[in-house]
Structure 1
């Protein structure tokens, strides 16, 4: 039920429906936040399906030079009434980010370094989500790595268990493995992986996801996320 069919677009999923003791319903609420890949892949039918889901706003985690349609994209611009906010989590020109993170951008191993090197960018991303109208799509290029990091923080802040957050991350990795390259700033080795290779790799990187979300409070402290922003993000998924 969490996977969304927006005219066959890969890797689109509602962050609702996950167990949390913080919600009166016992789960995160459907129809509030979705995660996905680059919006330029949506067809006209996909935009209609997204509107039926309740799409009202988009927070794009990519850098400005990654945005915009490509030759192979469908000719289907977004509805004019959508609010689209560019809130990049990365500065790919930053020397330390390039040296430390670019070699591991397709692994959650880089999340902790992104927090350490560019905390102000990730804080601004979370503030953009908190101020968005519910029915928000959070996306990057593949909807897997940057979106995985931000989704993990949103879910952890809403009281979702580490196991469920890991499973949500893994679902995006499986969804994009073997897919065509998505245009991230580095080569995507996962574009050629089989399911067996993906499963083996997930076994090696899952500890990075678990450590990241287990220390959720310390991560948000390092980002200097205000108490009000944390509360608003939480309420977006549970209130």
Structure 2
């Protein structure tokens, strides 16, 4: 299968965009090239980016952000593109993270109390939300909420034969990463390839990771400082201010392959098997699986 770099699409106004084409399935087939895309939000895309989306034939955009996120930073899309709102989690869907939870998360990550300065930390990015999400994989509340991906699967099933689809959240990492992992597993992509695509967001949210002096990431909603390489000078200044090493700050929120393993194990434990989960929670039974395979696999 092609590496994530081969599948990446460089945009001017968003990050973490790649297609899932060429990933192999267990029966020796592969995902159709140019059919399925994932990215960070489309609120800041340029005229060139809009033309790129048109050329890629992306006619449906699934937005996994909460209503407030989507309202504050509305997607820009080519005329005639259908936006399907499919909110998964956000402080605006009754999932606000309380102070006690934050304290517990920060201390279990081995981070100092200086990382509890809410105002200071939050001005550099949604650190607590990322910390909360990364620690939620495989938990009862995370697994029981996976049924919220039903509109995403509905959009996949309704896709016209000659049209392509893009799914995104804010950074295109946790919520998008989970949705894509569920779909790839349903399509029979190997666990190894699913995990590799999932963790690729760690690097794909670093717009100029080779240059420690770069501050390019500041231009993007999705690319907060906490996700940048610890060698980045700006990151080192922020980390010093927050009283923790940049490596520790980043390691606590970066995506890891064991997160997906936890999630899939929890799905099996709760629903009996992945196919039973697909059918009962996402409305994807044998007939729908066949439809998905026809649309996305060659």
Mark yes or no: TM-score above 0.5.
yes
TM-aligned CA deviation for residue 230 of structure 1: 3.2
3-state SS in 2 of match to 1:39: coil
Q: Which residue is 1:31 aligned to?
A: 34
In 1, are the aligned partners of 2:36 and 2:166 still within 8 Å (CA)?
A: yes
Show structure 2 runs of 5+ residues with no match.
1-5, 102-127, 210-216, 232-245, 269-273
Match of 1:191 among 227, 252, 263: 227
Q: Which residue is 1:117 aligned to?
A: 144
TM-aligned CA deviation for residue 225 of structure 1: 2.6
Q: Which residue is 1:137 aligned to?
A: 166
Q: Which residue is 1:48 aligned to?
A: 51
Asked if residue 212 in structure 1 is aligned to residue 263 in structure 2, the reply is yes
* Structure 2 CA distance for partners of 1:114 and 1:62, relative to 1, 3 Å: farther
1:117-165 Cα deviation digits (max 9, x unpaired): 3344222332233223431010110111100000101111111111111
TM (norm. structure 2) is 0.64
In 1, are the aligned partners of 2:62 and 2:166 still within 8 Å (CA)?
A: yes
TM-aligned CA deviation for residue 190 of structure 1: 3.2
| Distance in 1, Cα, partners of 2:24 & 2:166 | 21
1:54-82 Cα deviation digits (max 9, x unpaired): 21111111112111465xx9xx9422211
Asked if residue 19 in structure 1 is aligned to residue 24 in structure 2, the reply is yes
In 2, are the aligned partners of 1:16 and 1:29 still within 8 Å (CA)?
A: yes
TM (norm. structure 1) is 0.77
Alignment of 1:157-236 (within 5 A): 157-177=186-206, 179-180=217-218, 190-194=226-230, 197=247, 205-213=256-264, 215=268, 216-217=274-275, 219-221=277-279, 223-227=281-285, 228-236=287-295
Q: CA RMSD in A?
A: 3.6
Aligned length: 231
Q: Which residue is 2:121 aligned to?
A: none
> Which of the two has higher C-alpha Rg?
2
